[in-house]
Amino acid sequence: MRKIVVLSFITLDGVMQAPGGSKEDTSEGFKYGGWSFAYGDETITKAIIKQVSQPFDLLLGRKTYDIWVNYWPKQKGQIGDPFNKCRKYIVSSKDIKLKWDPSTLITGDVVAQLKKLKQADGPMLQVHGSGKLTQTW
C-alpha cells in the first residue's frame, strides 16, 4: 500500500489557497493570492527539497494541474526536476488532454480508481493543493 502525503500551504486562520501569485487561483472570489510566497525562507525551501528528494508520484486535482502545467514544466533544479520526472495522476470530472508527461488521467468512478491506486505498489503519492481530493477515500 502506498503512503499518502498531503502537502498544503495553509494560513493560521485556515485559508488553503494557491500561494504563488495574485492571479494564480481566484476561485470563490479569493483575491489574496501570493499570500505566502513573500514569506518563504531557507527553512521552507529545505523542507520542500527534502520532501521531493525521495521517490514519489503526484496526485493532483484538475485545478491544481491547470495551475502547475503552466509553471513546473519550465522549471529545473532540486524542486523542478523531481516534479517533471515523477508520474502525475490528474483527477478530473471531464476528459482533458494532458500536456505534462508522464501523466495519467483519472475520471469516471474516481473513488474506486483512487482506492486501487492507493493499494498498488509504487512510491508515495504526494497530494498538493486539494483538501477535497483526499476526502474522497
pLDDT exceeds cutoff 90 at 137? no
Lowest mean pLDDT among 3-17, 72-86, 98-112: 3-17
Distance CA 95, CA 42 (A): 39
Whole-number pLDDT of residue 44: 84
Q: Where are the domains of the chain?
A: 4-134
Q: In 3-state terms, what secondary structure has residue 112?
A: helix
pLDDT digits (tens, 9 = 90+) for 20-50: 666 777 777 877 777 677 777 899 889 889 9
Distance CA 31, CA 117 (A): 35
From the list 35, 87, 88, 46, the residue with the least C-alpha distance to 65 is 88
Scanning 76-130, the segments in alpha helix (DSSP H) are: 77-85, 110-119
Whole-number pLDDT of residue 28: 75
Is the domain defined by 4-134 classed in CATH 3.40.430.10? yes
pLDDT exceeds cutoff 60 at 11? yes
Whole-number pLDDT of residue 67: 86
Whole-number pLDDT of residue 72: 95
pTM of the model: 0.84
Whole-number pLDDT of residue 97: 96
- Average pLDDT of the residues of the chain: 86
